Structure 1
Amino acid sequence: MKPESQSARARAVSRRIAAARPLATTAMHERVDLLKSRGESVIDFSIAISHFPAPAVVREAVRAALDEPLLPYTAVGGAPGLRSRLAAKLRAENGIAAEARHVIATNGAKQALYQALYVMTDPGDTVIVMRPHWPAYVATAQLLGLHTVLVDQPDVLDAAFLHALPQAAVLIVNNPHNPTGKVYTAAELECIRAWLRARSTACIVDESYEKLIFEGAHHSLAACPDWEEVGIATIYSASQSYAMMGWRAGFACAPARWVKAMEALQGPITAAVPALTQVAADAAFAIGAVPELLADYRARRDLVVDLFAPVPWIALPAPASGPYLWGDVTALTLDTVAFAETLIEEYGVAIMPGEALGCPGFIRIGYIADDEATLRRGVAAIIALGDRLAAGGPSR
């Protein structure tokens, strides 16, 4: 090898990462932050950032921990007391027969997702993701060298839909769903469980929005006697249910053999989640739901849905859960990347184009940030741009 080739190789990134790109969701949010740092006024609907503070009991628990003389390392999977209490939460609230050995504390849901998918698959395995999807599902699968099959999520999931799916190592289910707000029924989850057993397919269930239910009831797929045998890993996050986006507090519940493997992966990367984050997670997940937060979000959801109701070029139903609204603008355009670019450049409003979630012609609106007046201004800007395009005006 020539010296210059060796030098070029030393400067190059690995083939594993060369094709990776920043998540569209985080990239748009970072763009908003950059514009704001320059003094520009931007309304950010691209991501869900609550205007609520973290619960008082969480902040009080962390303040008390800071008064302790030591914040020692904990076991990689989390402090034993935390894991035991999270397992108790799973038994009481989710109906999952979990023990401490089934629980691992993580830095948010993304780390839980990465580690679960890492230990459940080998490069080249197939993972099924239903679209629209949280972008991290696909990005994580790509990083791990997996073959991703995207399928359109049905309004009602049944045996016929599942029967048509290809053979796969893992199915990823998001319940409640980001961005549509779908909440799976017990009957739908039973169909999934039966299919998983028949196909010998494992499952990752993202239940990060379990406490943000407006209509219906949340059921956990792993609330079945054979969840370990079937192979179900469930991930949780405090970010949205407890307005703790920056705390990075999450955990996973998985068969004990997978938790041990996740610990082996996490150990050389981050070791344990920071002690203060564990304290925050302990306090947060003991709360249950936060009624005042849920009532506020429901009112905001209804407000935005009502504001869009007279607009002919968008179909925007009221979701049954979650901090997002999912709008169908195919009557206006399929190129929602261009729509989003024009909106942020000319109107100072950021949204997430559906392409980032696998569905051109849709837009995702995070409606829980800022005050009501700002929310109304942002919605008015989206309507103004859409009306301009519907009247034949330029997109850029």
Structure 2
Amino acid sequence: MAGQPHAATERSLRTSRLMEGITQALSVQHNNVVYDMKSAGQDIITLSLGEAFFDLPLPSFDGLTTPGLHHYSHSRGLPELRRLLAKYYGSGFALPVDPDTEVIVTAGSKAAIYMALMAIVDPGDQVIVPEPYWLSYPAQIRMCQGEPVMVPHDVPVFDFERFVTARTRAVIINNPNNPSGHVYTRAELEYLHELADRHGLLLIVDEAYNEFIPPGAEFISAGSLDPEKRHTVTVNSMSKNYGVSGWRIGYLIANERLTEQILKINQHLVTCAPTILAAYLAERFDDLLDVTRPQIQRTVQLRNRVAGWFADEGIDTMPGTSTFYLFVHLGGSGLDSTEFAGRLLRESAISVVPGIGYGDSCDRYVRVSVGSESEERIARAVAAIRDLVESTTPEHLTSRPRSRVESGV
């Protein structure tokens, strides 16, 4: 009948059941809406982006000495960049790294995590994922036909063993944590290594925010407690630490046997990280860190001041001191995190990410990122979040003292 698709066409349009079950990345989906609103001329206080905006020199590729800038390069990553990354971890974080056999540079840390999972997960294998998790972990595990096993956010690290089964293959953590800002302690990391040893697990550690630590705080790279890399994969992002998130440059560190498997995946999916961008980062490695590190510290300090503003308003945030994120509790609000974020965007032109994207136990939170807005606009957003919490809390108090945020302090 005219107007109805042929049976063969219906079959050709069918998509895989696996991908039908995968949802969009909530933060990316949310920010796409924000981009559309901004394109339409709306002024949005954007506290939903997973990046910090730095004042960086406009990149110039003039004077780069790396040959073949417009062509393919080594699928492990430019040798010069691998050597610098090995030195960065060896001297900075006490993790010895062989740049020839233990590093792979690829198109962002997100791709590196997925490739590591592809290399170790068989159908039906389980991966333990503590909440709040970086929101792509469960989807990537499912895309490998594995099963994510979520650990609610109120379960201590030292109780993770009760989530281990005969099918458990790995544990994946984000340190420092996006969205809470928690930094794993030495005792917590030592426990996770012992857990991996006892049960033959792999420990995948996403350290994409390792530079975003306040002065005097201790950051321990998990790999430094497993220098032979018997069971540890360390993943990191040059995109975050250099303020070039749109460049998509990330890397992983693992033992030679595992990197050989991941290398095959990288070759079939990516070939190599963008050569000209990798060359720029290699030849400007220390200079760029000299530019970004002071700005990173100012961003972390702002993050912790904003935590104080929320506390002044009687609004709790999940414990943490690092990154540029806060996981903000909705208090007595009758809204779930999706409803809250939607109303905040519609009514106050402020974008945050619903906490449900970071685990089912996190639906009483929203993620607030302070990396891309001025202090004055963030203060306005804090006041608006407070007002929405109060207005959606049954029998909330209407009289309260004037806050520091309202006073402009």
TM-score using structure 1 length: 0.90
Report the equivalent of 1:308. Answer: 310
Of 126-135 and 262-271, the range deviating more from structure 2: 262-271
Q: 1:317: Cα distance to partner? A: 5.7
Deviation digits for residues 288-345 of structure 1 (CA, Å, limit 9, x no counterpart) = 5744213321332233223222323x21267321010111224324611101111111
Report the equivalent of 2:7. Answer: 5
Aligned partner of 1:364 among 361, 364, 367: 367
Distance in 2 of aligned mates of 1:291 and 1:114: 28
Q: Is the 8 A contact 1:305 1:318 kept in 2?
A: no
Report the equivalent of 1:91. Answer: 90
Provide closer, same or farther for how the CA distance between residues 284 and 243 of structure 1 changes in structure 2, counting only shifts above 3 A. farther
| Count of aligned pairs | 384
Provide closer, same or farther for how the CA distance between residues 69 and 146 of structure 1 changes in structure 2, counting only shifts above 3 A. closer
Residue pairs, 1:1-396, within 5 angstroms: 4-54=6-56, 56=57, 59=59, 62-65=61-64, 70-100=69-99, 101-153=101-153, 157-158=157-158, 161-167=159-165, 168-214=168-214, 216-225=217-226, 227-229=228-230, 231-283=231-283, 286=286, 290-312=292-314, 314-316=315-317, 319-333=320-334, 335-358=336-359, 359-390=362-393
Deviation digits for residues 327-386 of structure 1 (CA, Å, limit 9, x no counterpart) = 122432461110111111111111011111111101110011122222222222222222
Of 369-378 and 113-122, the range deviating more from structure 2: 369-378
Distance in 1 of aligned mates of 2:241 and 2:188: 23
Distance in 2 of aligned mates of 1:387 and 1:259: 51
Unaligned runs of 5+ in 2: 397-409
Of 254-263 and 359-368, the range deviating more from structure 2: 254-263
Distance in 2 of aligned mates of 1:308 and 1:185: 25
Q: Secondary structure at the match of 2:18?
A: helix
Q: 1:22: Cα distance to partner? A: 1.2
Distance in 2 of aligned mates of 1:386 and 1:147: 35
The amino acid that maps onto 2:282 is D
Q: 1:281: Cα distance to partner? A: 3.7
The amino acid that maps onto 1:34 is D
Provide closer, same or farther for how the CA distance between residues 339 and 245 of structure 1 changes in structure 2, counting only shifts above 3 A. same
Provide closer, same or farther for how the CA distance between residues 268 and 139 of structure 1 changes in structure 2, counting only shifts above 3 A. same
Q: Is the 8 A contact 2:193 2:203 kept in 1?
A: no
Provide closer, same or farther for how the CA distance between residues 69 and 133 of structure 1 changes in structure 2, counting only shifts above 3 A. closer
Q: 1:211: Cα distance to partner? A: 0.5
The amino acid that maps onto 1:361 is R
Distance in 1 of aligned mates of 2:295 and 2:72: 33
Q: Secondary structure at the match of 2:327?
A: strand
Provide closer, same or farther for how the CA distance between residues 220 and 316 of structure 1 changes in structure 2, counting only shifts above 3 A. same
Provide closer, same or farther for how the CA distance between residues 138 and 302 of structure 1 changes in structure 2, counting only shifts above 3 A. same
Report the equivalent of 2:406. Answer: none
Distance in 1 of aligned mates of 2:333 and 2:123: 40
Provide closer, same or farther for how the CA distance between residues 14 and 334 of structure 1 changes in structure 2, counting only shifts above 3 A. same
Provide closer, same or farther for how the CA distance between residues 97 and 49 of structure 1 changes in structure 2, counting only shifts above 3 A. closer
Q: 1:391: Cα distance to partner? A: 6.0
Of 135-144 and 87-96, the range deviating more from structure 2: 87-96
The amino acid that maps onto 2:86 is A
Distance in 2 of aligned mates of 1:29 and 1:283: 32
Deviation digits for residues 117-140 of structure 1 (CA, Å, limit 9, x no counterpart) = 100111210000000111111111
Q: 1:225: Cα distance to partner? A: 4.9
Q: Secondary structure at the match of 1:332?
A: coil
Provide closer, same or farther for how the CA distance between residues 66 and 337 of structure 1 changes in structure 2, counting only shifts above 3 A. farther
Q: Is the 8 A contact 1:302 1:318 kept in 2?
A: no
Cα RMSD (Å) = 2.4
Over the matched positions of the two proteins, sequence identity in percent amounts to 26
Of 13-22 and 326-335, the range deviating more from structure 2: 326-335
Deviation digits for residues 243-280 of structure 1 (CA, Å, limit 9, x no counterpart) = 11111111000111221211211212221011122124
Provide closer, same or farther for how the CA distance between residues 318 and 200 of structure 1 changes in structure 2, counting only shifts above 3 A. closer
Distance in 2 of aligned mates of 1:316 and 1:99: 40
The amino acid that maps onto 2:88 is K
Distance in 2 of aligned mates of 1:138 and 1:368: 25
Distance in 2 of aligned mates of 1:375 and 1:68: 45
Q: 1:40: Cα distance to partner? A: 1.2
The amino acid that maps onto 2:116 is A
Deviation digits for residues 140-162 of structure 1 (CA, Å, limit 9, x no counterpart) = 1121111110002458533xx13
